[in-house]
């Protein structure tokens, strides 16, 4: 059977500026290699649809099963893995993160210190970009940095400028997976989905005043690094395929990006040596590029161990809430009020009551009660609905489509009983004023309808700030533990990912009919896909301030300065109302202003990452996927527990264990002392208990001994923390421990 594969030959040892002749020579060598298996160089040229020649050494091709076997047995070939699919995983959020206050930027804001991320280059692997968005206006920006080597693919009217400096598309892997040629409409970097534009503008969009979604969340939209240059790499179509992702990584490294943001990943993780994201991001980090990825949105459905993008060289981001919500409440004629959600435009005339009818009682003659109950298309009788609020139940079709059915039948509003009481709905833009209430409250509304001769109601929507406890963990956010390497805590950090306003593409076709055919400039979405670019934007600010910091140092600064409490209590997981743990939020909720001066960082080099791979048992062949030159693992077994990560995780504690960490001073000289929050049932001893740093970049090593108490019988994970402080800086690492299972 013919399928598409990525054939990996190990890391390419090119310089940062490979010659065109060198690239052509490598492509020819790929043709020769595959041609020797296919017995025809011409067939090899037809089969290969990507040649990775900049920083990734290999190619992507369509192959038969026996051809895969032949290639796999060739000594030059390190790995052959299927071209599999990955899935796609604001006005208020930056104020919530402390970068501005009451519409003003305080003097201590990282925005001012970092000159709004001036001239840092942020690349985004996603669904493309809508270049006409105001978020990518280049007015007042200077020349593009000379280190930029990328370009703009101008198909479909795409134009770049001094802000949006690159826009490219990669669809050959998608085409190969489909097994048929794509039509020309797919040859574009333009975003027709909206996801890529949303994420890119959140990371690096410019200040845009008057931003709103249908009147809600009104304010000034902006990205984390408003003065950054941005580049879009379109790799997602109906999915995001490994071959396209690797091609984009290869291009982005060569183009000269500083930060790469990926709001995509797998539902279930696979070994690092088979993951396009893990391999591509390793090459990026080796070239000084920090890679930020979303953790995934499977927490509510698949539970623990669902975090995506768990490679330790990637900064993995979970989603939390901000202190803004969009209530759209129902007030009945008996003055009972029920809380719902929707958007500000979903207001009926203030304090004016309208008749309310249950959709089953307003069905057309030939419709079933079951279809009318959910407001299915063509199930409602206009003579019974016109001028009324319609009560519907959730299920089967999208909520927005139900509101369209009500609107087409002449209804003026909709009450949708849908949500379990302990969860919150995601507000949307509906065709009529709408309130989504809990299933329990819905029963109260239905009881009122049937117990009242002339039932009436009105719907009142608004945007409210500061009335909800935040940050709380989003129920959908994927959670740890890390299923690939449980000794590495994932996710790493959390950032706002709920109800985020950012640039969008055109309005959905059906919605545009009711908003005067105007393009929808901004949209509100939720997901770890929105948390990721928040961190990418802040990483851009840190890169501007500290251009000599390694990707690991930037990552550490963000992680060790995070906070783990919300109004003096731990964040609460909304899905179950249970206490959240580091498996939900990693090191905590990001604090950008603290991250710009972390005091100390846990730094890592390429050698550290290679030793990490040694410690998890990778052989020479698997190691060569990540580095071309032969790498000799240290003669002594390396303890994975000593990997210099900004968190401490021991998934199988038996008796006691001692591990080491090393801190680098990136601030002023000072004396740091340690404070420990002991996990339940665990004795923790740190030696030494103080570290004196006399100069910049000085490193100090300390040891942490963990021992289970004699009467400790807990078999689940327990959590604590370790903080080094000089009185000004607070460098915190979570501690996660589980007793060994006999």
**47: helix, coil or strand?**
helix
Q: What is the DSSP string of 373-434?
A: HTT-TT-B-HHHHTTSEEEEE--SS-HHHHHHHHHHTT-SEEEEEEE-TTS-PPP---SS-E
453 CB-near residues (< 8 Å, 6+ apart):
none
Higher pLDDT, 522 or 361: 361
Band of residue 342 on the pLDDT scale cut at 50, 70, 90: low
| 213 has pLDDT over 70 | no
- Structure tokens that stand for 455 in this block: 């039932």
Question: How far apart are alpha carbons 498 and 340 in whole angstroms?
Answer: 16
The pLDDT, as a whole number, for residue 629 is 83
**135: helix, coil or strand?**
helix
The pLDDT, as a whole number, for residue 713 is 65
**87: helix, coil or strand?**
strand
Question: How far apart are alpha carbons 165 and 539 in whole angstroms?
Answer: 19
The pLDDT, as a whole number, for residue 429 is 65
569 CB-near residues (< 8 Å, 6+ apart):
none
Q: Is the dihedral of CA 43, 47, 49, 53 positive or negative?
A: negative
Where in the sequence numbering do the catalytic residues fall?
126, 195, 529
Distance of CA 633 to the CA centre of its chain: 33
Task: Kindly report the pTM of this predicted structure.
Answer: 0.82
The answer to whether 58 and 624 are in contact (CB under 8 A) is no
The pLDDT, as a whole number, for residue 211 is 46
pLDDT, tens digit (0-9, with 9 covering 90-100), for 235-284: 999 899 999 999 999 999 999 999 999 999 887 788 999 999 999 999 99
The pLDDT, as a whole number, for residue 598 is 97
643 CB-near residues (< 8 Å, 6+ apart):
312, 487, 488, 608, 611, 612, 615
Average pLDDT over residues 690-717: 90
pLDDT, tens digit (0-9, with 9 covering 90-100), for 612-627: 999 999 988 889 889 8
Q: Which of 644, 656, 628, 624 is nearest to 740 (CA)?
A: 656
Question: How far apart are alpha carbons 43 and 237 in whole angstroms?
Answer: 27
The answer to whether 261 and 89 are in contact (CB under 8 A) is no
| 490 has pLDDT over 80 | yes
Band of residue 472 on the pLDDT scale cut at 50, 70, 90: confident
436: enclosing H helix or E strand:
strand 434-438
| 75 has pLDDT over 90 | no
| 466 has pLDDT over 60 | no
Distance of CA 292 to the CA centre of its chain: 8
110: enclosing H helix or E strand:
helix 110-113
| 21 has pLDDT over 60 | no
């Amino acid at each position: 059977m013919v399928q598409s594969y990525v054939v990996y030959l190990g890391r390419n040892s090119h310089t940062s500026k490979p010659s065109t002749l060198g690239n052509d020579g490598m492509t020819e060598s790929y043709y020769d290699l595959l041609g020797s298996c296919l017995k025809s160089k011409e067939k090899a040229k037809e089969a290969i649809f990507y040649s990775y020649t900049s920083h990734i050494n290999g190619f992507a091709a369509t192959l038969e099963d026996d051809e895969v076997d032949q290639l796999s047995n060739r000594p030059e070939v390190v790995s052959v893995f299927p071209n599999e699919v990955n899935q796609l995983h604001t006005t208020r959020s930056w104020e919530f993160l402390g970068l501005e206050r009451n519409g003003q930027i305080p003097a201590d804001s990282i925005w001012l210190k970092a000159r709004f991320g001036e001239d840092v280059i942020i690349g985004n692997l996603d669904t493309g970009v809508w270049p006409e968005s105001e978020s990518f206006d280049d007015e007042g920006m200077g020349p593009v940095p000379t280190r930029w080597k990328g370009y703009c693919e101008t198909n479909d009217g795409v134009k770049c400028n001094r802000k949006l400096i690159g826009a490219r598309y990669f669809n050959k892997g998608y085409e190969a997976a489909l097994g048929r040629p794509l039509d020309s409409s797919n040859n574009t970097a333009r975003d027709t989905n909206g996801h890529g534009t949303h994420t890119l503008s959140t990371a690096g969009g410019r200040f845009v005043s008057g931003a709103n979604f249908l009147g809600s969340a009104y304010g000034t939209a902006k990205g984390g690094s408003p003065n950054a240059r941005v580049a879009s790499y379109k790799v997602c179509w109906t999915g995001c395929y490994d071959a396209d992702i690797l091609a984009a990584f290869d291009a982005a490294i060569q183009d000269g990006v500083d930060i790469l943001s990926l709001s995509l990943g797998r539902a279930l993780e696979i070994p690092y040596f088979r993951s396009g994201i893990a391999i591509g991001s390793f090459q990026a980090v080796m070239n000084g590029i920090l890679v930020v990825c979303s953790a995934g949105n499977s927490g509510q459905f698949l539970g623990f161990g669902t975090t995506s993008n768990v490679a330790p060289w990637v900064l993995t981001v979970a989603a939390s809430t901000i202190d803004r919500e969009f209530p759209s409440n129902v007030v009945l004629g008996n003055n009972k009020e029920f809380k719902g959600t929707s958007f500000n435009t979903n207001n009926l005339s203030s304090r004016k009551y309208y008749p309310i009818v249950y959709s089953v009682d307003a069905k057309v003659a030939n419709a079933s009660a079951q279809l009318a109950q959910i407001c299915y298309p063509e199930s409602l009788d206009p003579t019974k609905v016109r001028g009324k609020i319609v009560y519907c139940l959730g299920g089967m079709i999208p909520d927005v489509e139900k509101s369209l059915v009500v609107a087409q039948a002449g209804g003026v509003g909709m009450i949708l009983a849908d949500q379990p009481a302990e969860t919150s709905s995601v507000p949307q833009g509906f065709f009529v004023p709408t309130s989504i209430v809990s299933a329990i409250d819905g029963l109260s509304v239905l009881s009122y309808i049937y117990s009242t001769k002339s039932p009436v109601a009105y719907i009142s929507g608004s945007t409210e700030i500061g009335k909800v406890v935040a940050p709380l963990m989003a129920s959908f956010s994927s959670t740890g533990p890390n299923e690939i390497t449980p000794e590495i805590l994932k996710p790493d950090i959390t950032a706002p990912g709920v109800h985020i306003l950012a640039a969008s593409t055109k309005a959905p076709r059906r919605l545009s009919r009711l908003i005067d055919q105007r393009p929808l400039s901004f949209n509100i979405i939720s997901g770890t896909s929105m948390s990721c670019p928040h961190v990418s934007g802040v990483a851009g600010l840190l890169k501007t301030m500290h251009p000599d910091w390694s990707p690991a140092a930037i990552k550490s600064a963000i992680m060790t300065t995070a906070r783990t409490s919300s109004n003096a209590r731990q964040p609460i997981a909304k899905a179950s109302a249970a206490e959240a743990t580091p498996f939900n939020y990693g090191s905590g909720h990001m604090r950008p202003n603290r991250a710009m001066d972390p005091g100390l960082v846990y730094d890592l080099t390429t050698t550290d990452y290679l030793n990490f791979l040694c410690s998890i048992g990778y052989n020479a062949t698997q190691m060569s996927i990540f580095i071309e030159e032969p790498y000799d693992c240290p003669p002594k077994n390396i303890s994975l527990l000593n990997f210099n990560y900004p968190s401490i995780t021991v998934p199988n504690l038996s008796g006691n264990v001692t591990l080491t960490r090393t801190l680098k001073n990136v601030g002023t000289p000072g004396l740091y002392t340690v404070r420990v929050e002991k996990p339940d049932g665990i004795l923790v001893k740190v030696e030494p208990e103080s570290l004196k740093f006399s100069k910049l970049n000085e490193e100090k090593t300390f040891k942490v001994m963990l021992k289970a108490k004699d009467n400790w019988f807990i078999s689940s994970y327990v959590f604590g923390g370790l903080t080094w402080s000089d009185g000004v800086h607070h460098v915190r690492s979570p501690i996660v421990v589980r007793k060994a299972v006999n």
